[in-house]
Structure 1
Amino acid sequence: MSQKSLEEQIQQLDEQLSSSVEHQERETKFATQANERFARNISCFEKYFPDIAKAISEYELRDDFCIHVTSTGYGNFVPKNHKAPIYSDDPIAQVTKQVEHSIQHPTFSATDYTSCPVNDDDERVHIRYMGALTKAFREIQSQQQERISKLPENFPTALIFGIGLGYHIELLLEKTNFDYCFLIEPDFEVFFASLFCTDWFSIIEKVDNNGGALFFQLGADKDNFIKDLETLADDIGAFSVVRSFCYQHTPLPEIIELIQQWSMQYFRFQYGHGFFNDAITGMSHTVHLVEKNTPILASPTQNRVDLSTPIFIVGNGPSLDEAEEFIKENANKAIIFAAGTAITSLYNKGIQCDFHVLVERPYSNYKIFGDILPAEEYKKTNLIGLNTLYPDNTDRYKWAGIAGKGNEAGTFLLEVMSQTLNNKGIPLMPYCNPVVANTALSFAMFAGFKNIYLFGIDNGNLMTGEHHSKDSIYRNNLEDENEDGLVCIRMDGKYLPANFGGQVETNDLFMAAHSQLEKLIGHYPYRSVYNIGNGAKLKGAHPVRAEELIPLPTSRDIDHQIEFLKSDYFEQLNLTDFDDTLLGVGAFNEICDHVLGIAQEPVGTIKEASENLMRQARYVYSLRNTALHHLHHMIKGALLYYHCPMLSLLYTYTDEQFTLESYEKVNVLWQGYVTEMKDYYQHNYRTKCDLGKE
C-alpha cells in the first residue's frame, strides 16, 4: 500500500468523522426544533380542530417510526410499506420546484355553464332565470377572451392531494390566498410525521386571519372521500369546490385513485342543489298533505311486522322481464313495491303490487299516472311517497303515507309540527333520492326488512339496446314518433359495470341514483339485498340471474304484514288548522332584502366581487339549523345555481375589466331573481305545483 493511498484513506476517514459529527449536530438541532414545533402544533389543533387533536393523542406509532434528518437539515420520512423516503436530500428545493411548476401550469376544475337547456315556454322563476344565465354565459364565452393560464394570487379553492410532510403547503400559501383549502391525505401516519416538520400553527392561524377555511380529510380512501367531500360541500355550499386548483403532491397509487374519483364524480357538485320553485312547492305540498291528515312515517312504538318477509322492489328496467315468471309465482309470498311507472308494467303482466312509490312534485306527473292505469286499480293498492309529492295523489289509493325528505323546506316545517303536536321529531329516510327506486329501497331498509329483491333497478340501458321493460309505458323505439308511448330520459354515454360482465349505458341522473343505492346498502349492514339481472352492479348487493332464483318459502299472511307496516310505522298529526305564520313571509322578505343589499354594493376588483359573494353565501348559510331553516332551503338552491357560475366567471379570464363587466351583467340577473323570489313567496306559499296544467 502506497503512502499516498494511506493518506487518502486517513483523509476520507476524517471527512466521514466530520460528516458524522455534523450530522449528529443537525439531528440534535432538528430534534429540539421538531419537539417544540410538535407541541405548538398540538396546541393549535386543540384550539381549531379538537377532533384531529384527539386522534393525534390516541394514535399508536409503529415501532420503527422514524423521521430522518437530511444533510440539508430537514425532516424526511419513509411511509409504511414503502422503501424510499418521500423526498430527496433537499426537500425544500424539491418542493419549491414542484410548487412553482404547479403555479405556472395549474390544473383547474371547471364547469361549462353554456350547456344548460333554455326553455322559453316554462314560466317558473328558476327556469326563466337559469335560461337567462345560460344566454349570458354564451354571450360572454362568444367573445373568446384570453383565459388564465397560471394560478393567480387569489383563487377560490385548493384541493391538495397529499399532505406529505407539509412543506409544499407553506410555500403554496405564501404565493396564493385561497378562500377554501382542502387537504387530502390517505395516510394518517404521514400527517402525524408532518407535525414535527411543518409549522401547522402558522398555517392555520394565517388562514384564519385571512378569513379563509381549512379542511383536513385524513385517512381519505376511495370509499369515503367523495362522500365526506359531499358532506362538507352541503354544510358550507357547493361553491366551495366548483372552481378549484387541483394539486397533486405525491405520486402514490392511493393519491392517484382519489384524483380519479374526483374527476369522475365532479358532476355531483355542479347540480342537484334544489331550487326555489321546488322548495316552495315542496313546502306547499307538505302543508296540504298535513291538512289532509295524511299518515307520516314515524319511529314505531311497536313492531308487529315480520322483518324476514321478502320484499320485492320493482323498477321499470329491461331486466324486469327476465324475472317475470318468478315474480308471478312468488307474488303472494312477498310484499311488492312498484317504483313509479313500474306499476303499469306489473299491471300489464298481471301482477298486483302492494305499495306504489312516488316522489315527483309536478301536476304533470299526477296527470300521467291518472291516465296510464284504471282508477279502480289504484284503489287496490297503497301509496308511499315523500312529503314533496303532489298532494292530490293520495286520494287515488286505498291508503297513503308519506315520509320526510331531507334537505327540504317542507320537511323542516313537518319536524316543527311533529315536535309541537306529538312532542317528538320525525325520522328521515337516508339516501331516498333522486329517483323512486331510491325511495323504495330506503323505506324497506329503514323499516328493517332483511331480505330485499331488486327487479328492474338497472340504472341504465342494457348493451343489447333495451331501455325499459317491454310492458312499460315507454316507446320501444325512441326514434319512432308514430309509436305509442312516452319518450324516456335518454342515456348520454356514461357507463357502469353490469352484474355479469359488460356495462350499462347511463347518465348523470342514474349515476347519482346508483351511488345513492350503494351508500344506502352500506348504511344498513347485515341485510341481504339481491340485485336481479344484468343491470348495473351494486356494491354490497348480491348479483343473481333470474333463472337462478329459487321459490320462496311460504311467509306469514302477507295482508297482515302490510297492515302492520302501515299502522306501526305511520301516524297522523291530527292537525285541525295550520298556522301560516310558521311560513315566515316577513322573515323571508328580510332575508331577500339583506342579500340584495350586499349584492348591490359596488365592487372594484375581482377580489372584492369574490368577497361580496362570500358574504351573501355565509349569511344564507348562517340560517341553517335555526328557526329559519326552511327559509334557508328556500333561497339556498337559487344562490348555488347562480353563485357557482359567478364565482367561476371571476377566475376564468385574464382581463379584469372584461371580467367585472361580465360579472355585473350576471349580478343584475341575480338581483332580479332574488327580487322575484321575494315577491312570489308571499303570494304563493300555498300554491300547488301547476307544471303541466293547460
Structure 2
Amino acid sequence: MTENKINPFIHKDTELKNLEKKYADIFVKSLQDLQELTELQKDLKDNLELRFRRNLEAFRKYIPEIAKTFENYTPKREMDFFCLKNEIPNLIFLDNNDILYKSADPFELTKNQVDKIINNTNINQLSYQIEKDPYGQLHYKYNNRLIEIEQSVLRDRTITPKQIESLPNCVMLGIGLGYPLADLYNQVEIANLIIVEPNPDIFFASLKAFEWSPFLEYIFENKLGIHLMIGQNSDQFYLDLEKFYEKHGRFLSGTWLGFTHYSSKKIFEFVSLFDKHYRSINAAMGFTDDHLFGASHACYSIQNKKKFVLNTPLKKEYEEKPVFIIGSGPSLDHDIPFIRRYQDKAIIIACGTALDALYHAGIKPDLYANTERVPEIRQTLDLICDKDFFDDIIIITGDVCHPATINKFKHTAIFGKPDEPLYPYFAMNFPEFKKVQYIQLMNPLVGNMGVSGAVYLGFNNLYLFGIDNGKKVHGNAMHSEFTSVYKEKFIEDTGGVYSITKNIPANFGGECETSYLFDLSRRNIDFVLQMEKTKRPEITCINCSDGALLEEAKPVHSEELTDYFESLPDINKKNFFKYITEEKTSSIDIPKDILIKSFDTEIFSQTCKKIKGIILEKPTNRIDYIKNMETVSEILFYLKTQPSTYFYGAALEGSIQTFFMQIARMLYHSKDENACIELANQGMDVIGDFLEEVPDLFSHMPFLYLGPHQKLYKNGKVGKDMPHCKAPGLPQMHILVKDDDYKDPLDKFVKRYE
C-alpha cells in the first residue's frame, strides 16, 4: 500500500492570506467609505437574524444536535458583522479588530480559492501493489485479482476534481462563514463532506452569514453525506473522525480531497494531526481469513485452559518496579552489560527474537512478548536448545496467538484484542469474558506488544532497550549480534518489511533509517503512551535505544542510570511469578459446544448473500456507486452494534473495506466515467465471487488454525476457481530450520552479571 507523501491540506497558492493580497488595495479604499454605510449595516443585521432563524429550523429538521447547541449560543470572543456596498457579510473580531476576510468581496475571494483547489489539485488516493500470499488465504487471492484489474488500464494522473465533477469524500478544515460550500458544490458533487471547525464562534457566525437551509435541503434530498465536527479538542477530533469512517466506510479515507479554508493555530494543529494519524484509519484493518484464524486460536486457548490477563489492578508493590522492555534492535548490544548487571532489579520483557538475544547474553527474561498469530514463531523459539529455559517465562500475547506458540510455554498471560472480532464478541455474550483485560496497539511489531503489555498490565516505570525501529544512518546491522535467528540467516532482515523508506530523527541525535512497518510501530508506541498518560500521568518511559526517536519517551543513555539502579533492591522474582500466574491471570470457562454454537455458518452465509445482492446492482454513476458501498459499510457497522451478530460484521469488514478501496480507485481512474464504471463492475464481480466462496471457509470455525488450514484446500490451490477469479496455487509453508542442520552452541542457559 502506498500513499501520497505531500501534505494533503497544503495546496499551492490557495491560502487566503496569499489570495487576499490581490484585494488589499480595494479593501482599504472601501473601508474608508464604511461610515457612509450605517443604514446598510442596520439592514444587514436584520437579514442576519432572519437567516439565522431559517438556518436553525433547517438544522432542527436535519441535524438537531447542531440546532440545540447553537440556538442560545453566546460567542466567547466579541465579534460583529459588517458589509460594504455589495452587502456581503464579513466578520470583525472587536478585541483586536482582526477581519476574517480581508477583501472587499469575500464571495470572489472564496470562489478564487475553491477554483484553484479543484482545478489544480489531484485527489488523494491510496494504491496497492500485488502481494505475495505467504500462507494461502482468500483475501490475498481476491485482493490481488482486484489490483490486476485496476492496473490493467493506464491511469490518468493529471485529472482534477473539476474535470471529474465528483468526489467520494472531502475533508474541509475551517468553514469560515460557509461561503466556500456554495462554490464547491456548484462545480463538484461530493458524496461525503466532513467539515472540521475547531472554533464554535466561527461556526455560529456562519449560521447568520451563509444560507445553510437550502444547502442542507440539497444534501439530504440527494442522499449525500455531511458530518460536522465543531469545537473538538485534539483527542475528540481524532475519535470523532474514526467513528465517521467506521460507520460509513473506511474505504472513504482512501480516496479524498483535503481543503483548508482559513488558517489559525488550531487549524494548523489539526493539519498536523491529519498528517500524523490519518493513515492509521486504514493502515491495519485486518482481513477475513486473518480474523477467522485469530478467533480460532483464541478458542483453542480457552478450550485448553490457557490463562488470560484479568482486568484487576496490578498490585501496588509492582506498579513502580522498573520494567526493561527489550527488543533485538542493533543498539541492544551496547546495553547488554547494563541489563546483565541489573537484571534482578527490573522485570524483564523480551520482545520476540530478543528472547534469543538474551538467552545468548546470559539474561533471564520474566515475560516474553509475542504479537504474531503465525506458526513460524514457534520455530524461532525451538532454536533455543535449553528446554528448561522456558519453564518460568510467561508469554504475554494477544488472544490471536497461534496454538503452536502458546504450547511452548507452561504459563500464559493472554490479553483480549479489541480490534479483532472475537474479544468484543465474547465480552458482549459471555459474562466471564468481561473480566479479561484488553490491550491496545500491540501491533505491528513485537516492541509494540512489549510496551502495550507493560502498560496494560499496570506498570508505570518503563525502560526501552533495543526498541530501535530501524537503524542509525550508515549503520550496518538491523538486529542485535546476539540473535542467532538473524545472525545465522534463518530470517532475512533486508528487503521486504525491512526495506528502508525514509529517514527520521534518531533518539540521541542524527537520523535513523526506517521502514513503513518500523515507522508505524514507532507511531503506535508513541500513541499508546500518549493515550494512557492522559489516564495515568504517573507513567514514565525512558528510551535507552539508539534508534528512532519517540516523542513520548525520554532519551537517556544507560550509563546515566547506573547510580539509580545501584540504589535499588532486587525484586523477588519468585513472588512476582506466583502473583502473575495465580492472581493476575486465570483460565476462562466456556464449554466447547457453546464455542461451536457461537459461529453460525447460516447467519454468516446470509450476510454474505445480502451484501452480494447490493454490490451487484452496479450503479451507472460514480456517486451512486460510492453510496452503494456506504450502504454495505453501514450494514456491517449495524451488525457490529448487536451482540448476536457482532462477529459476522467484524470478520468481513477488513476485507470488504480493502476491496472497496480498490473499487473507489477504479471509479476515479480517468475523466471517462463510463470507462471507470466498467472497470469497477469488473471489480465488483470479483468481490461477488469472494462473498460466494468465503462461507465455505467460515464453516470450519472455531477450528481453523493458520497452517493446518491448508489441508482444507484440495488440488493444491487456494480455494476454488471462481467465474471471475481463478484460484492460485497454495504456497509452501515457510520452514526456518530444516531437519537438524543447526545446533545452537549454547545448549544450557547460563545467567551472567558481567
Indicate which of 501, 507, 520 corresponds to 1:493.
Answer: 501
Distance 1:393 1:18, change over 3 A: closer
Q: After the TM superposition, which of the residue ranges 596-605 and 226-235 deviates more from structure 2?
A: 226-235
Matched with 2:510 is 502
Distance 1:679 1:532, change over 3 A: same
Matched with 2:481 is 470
Q: Could you tell me how far 1:48 is from its partner in structure 2?
A: 5.5
Indicate which of 578, 587, 594 corresponds to 2:610.
Answer: 594
Matched with 2:569 is 554
Q: Could you tell me how far 1:474 is from its partner in structure 2?
A: 4.9
Q: Could you tell me how far 1:642 is from its partner in structure 2?
A: 0.7
**What is the aligned residue count?**
669
Q: After the TM superposition, which of the residue ranges 276-285 and 318-327 deviates more from structure 2?
A: 318-327
Q: Could you tell me how far 1:569 is from its partner in structure 2?
A: 2.7
Matched with 2:654 is 637
Q: Secondary structure at the match of 1:98?
A: helix
Q: Could you tell me how far 1:210 is from its partner in structure 2?
A: 2.4
Q: Secondary structure at the match of 1:299?
A: coil
Indicate which of 140, 151, 160 corresponds to 2:153.
Answer: 140
Indicate which of 570, 591, 605 corresponds to 2:621.
Answer: 605
**Superimposed CA distance per residue, residues 368-425 of structure 1 (whole angstroms, 9 cap, x where no aligned partner):** 3223454322223111110000023222223112111112122134314541x47x45
Indicate which of 437, 440, 444 corresponds to 1:434.
Answer: 444
2:696 paired with 1:686: no
Maintained 8 Å contact 1:308/1:451: yes
Q: Could you tell me how far 1:572 is from its partner in structure 2?
A: 2.1
1:513-532 to 2 correspondences below 5 Å: 513-525=521-533, 526=537, 527-532=539-544
Matched with 1:573 is 588
| Residues in 2 aligned to 1:60 and 1:425: alpha-carbon distance in whole angstroms | 45
2:467 paired with 1:457: yes
| Residues in 2 aligned to 1:659 and 1:16: alpha-carbon distance in whole angstroms | 49
Distance 1:383 1:655, change over 3 A: same
1:228-267 to 2 correspondences below 5 Å: 228-252=240-264, 255=267, 258-259=270-271, 262=274, 267=279
Indicate which of 102, 105, 116 corresponds to 1:101.
Answer: 116
2:685 paired with 1:668: yes
| Residues in 2 aligned to 1:392 and 1:34: alpha-carbon distance in whole angstroms | 70
Indicate which of 322, 326, 351 corresponds to 1:310.
Answer: 322
Q: Secondary structure at the match of 2:154?
A: helix
1:359-398 to 2 correspondences below 5 Å: 359-372=371-384, 374-398=386-410
Indicate which of 594, 601, 604 corresponds to 1:585.
Answer: 601
Matched with 2:178 is 166
Matched with 2:44 is 30
Distance 1:554 1:270, change over 3 A: same
Q: Could you tell me how far 1:81 is from its partner in structure 2?
A: 7.0
**Superimposed CA distance per residue, residues 68-121 of structure 1 (whole angstroms, 9 cap, x where no aligned partner):** 3333222223468784533411111222232233332233101223x23344x7
Q: Secondary structure at the match of 1:182?
A: strand
Maintained 8 Å contact 1:158/1:180: yes
Q: After the TM superposition, which of the residue ranges 171-180 and 211-220 deviates more from structure 2?
A: 211-220
Q: After the TM superposition, which of the residue ranges 565-574 and 396-405 deviates more from structure 2?
A: 565-574
Q: Could you tell me how far 1:255 is from its partner in structure 2?
A: 4.2
Distance 1:171 1:338, change over 3 A: same
Q: Could you tell me how far 1:655 is from its partner in structure 2?
A: 1.9
Q: Could you tell me how far 1:443 is from its partner in structure 2?
A: 2.5
| Residues in 2 aligned to 1:107 and 1:187: alpha-carbon distance in whole angstroms | 28
Q: After the TM superposition, which of the residue ranges 576-585 and 73-82 deviates more from structure 2?
A: 73-82
Distance 1:486 1:118, change over 3 A: closer
Q: Could you tell me how far 1:46 is from its partner in structure 2?
A: 6.0
| Residues in 2 aligned to 1:151 and 1:259: alpha-carbon distance in whole angstroms | 26
Q: Could you tell me how far 1:468 is from its partner in structure 2?
A: 1.4
Matched with 2:299 is 287
Q: Could you tell me how far 1:137 is from its partner in structure 2?
A: 2.1
Matched with 1:4 is none
Matched with 1:89 is 104
Q: TM-score by structure 2 length?
A: 0.82
Matched with 2:24 is none
Q: Could you tell me how far 1:518 is from its partner in structure 2?
A: 1.3
| Residues in 2 aligned to 1:305 and 1:413: alpha-carbon distance in whole angstroms | 34
Q: Secondary structure at the match of 2:529?
A: helix
- Aligned residue type for 1:273: M
Matched with 1:628 is 645
Maintained 8 Å contact 2:310/2:585: yes
Distance 1:71 1:214, change over 3 A: same
| Residues in 2 aligned to 1:46 and 1:582: alpha-carbon distance in whole angstroms | 42
Q: Could you tell me how far 1:190 is from its partner in structure 2?
A: 2.5
| Residues in 1 aligned to 2:631 and 2:71: alpha-carbon distance in whole angstroms | 36
Indicate which of 633, 641, 655 corresponds to 1:617.
Answer: 633
Q: Secondary structure at the match of 2:259?
A: strand
| Residues in 2 aligned to 1:598 and 1:318: alpha-carbon distance in whole angstroms | 51
| Residues in 1 aligned to 2:314 and 2:464: alpha-carbon distance in whole angstroms | 27
Q: Could you tell me how far 1:163 is from its partner in structure 2?
A: 1.3
- Aligned residue type for 1:628: T
| Residues in 1 aligned to 2:260 and 2:30: alpha-carbon distance in whole angstroms | 38
2:141 paired with 1:128: yes
| Residues in 1 aligned to 2:437 and 2:57: alpha-carbon distance in whole angstroms | 39
Distance 1:16 1:454, change over 3 A: closer
**Superimposed CA distance per residue, residues 545-568 of structure 1 (whole angstroms, 9 cap, x where no aligned partner):** 122113421155233133223433
Maintained 8 Å contact 2:378/2:408: no
| Residues in 2 aligned to 1:200 and 1:149: alpha-carbon distance in whole angstroms | 23
Distance 1:418 1:315, change over 3 A: farther
Q: Could you tell me how far 1:314 is from its partner in structure 2?
A: 0.8
Matched with 1:480 is none
Q: Secondary structure at the match of 1:357?
A: strand
Q: Secondary structure at the match of 2:299?
A: helix
Consecutive unaligned residues in structure 2, runs of 5 or more: 1-28, 709-732, 736-754
Q: TM-score by structure 1 length?
A: 0.88
